[in-house]
Amino acid sequence: QLQLVESGGGSVQAGGSLRLSCAASGLTDDYNYMGWFRQAPGKEREPLAVIYTGDGATKYAESVKGRFTVSQDNAKNTVYLQMTSLKPEDTAMYYCAAADYGLILDPNEYYYWGQGTQVTVSS
């Protein structure tokens, strides 16, 4: 099994920054693709970014490319999502998830999910 715990969410004004963390424990060697997703009320779960922990390769959704950066600290079994230039439309519950398939932004390919951390951006 794999356990994922997100942290770092909170409230921030538009234009501000936040860094989200996702700590993994359990069978971490079997799931080397770590994705970030978000879901706002009444909306579908939206992929944001994914990182391959083997070499640090990344892929981003166009909606956040240039503003969000995903990174890793393999010694801590932790991945991060650095968010800058935040906008009110970024307000959502943010989730991390683990997969073993590839560097893709498809939530259906992710097997384990964290509990989420709330991000609220005010104007």
Tell me the residue length of the chain. 123
Q: Residue 108 pLDDT more than 90?
A: yes
Q: What pLDDT, in 10s, does the model give residues 47-98?
A: 999 999 999 999 999 989 999 999 999 899 999 999 999 999 999 999 999 9
Residue 78 forms beta bridges with which residues?
23, 73
Radius of gyration of the chain (CA): 13
Q: Residue 16 pLDDT more than 90?
A: yes
Reported as half-sphere exposure (CB side, CA atoms, 13 A), residue 100 has a value of: 8
Sign of CA dihedral 33, 39, 45, 46: negative
Phi and psi torsions of 52, nearest 5°: -90, 115
Contacts of 120 (CB under 8 A, 6+ apart): 10, 11, 12, 91
In this prediction, residue 28 carries a pLDDT of 80
CA dihedral 8, 23, 55, 98 (to 10 degrees): -100
Between these two residues, 112 and 29, which has the higher pLDDT value?
A: 112
In this prediction, residue 80 carries a pLDDT of 98
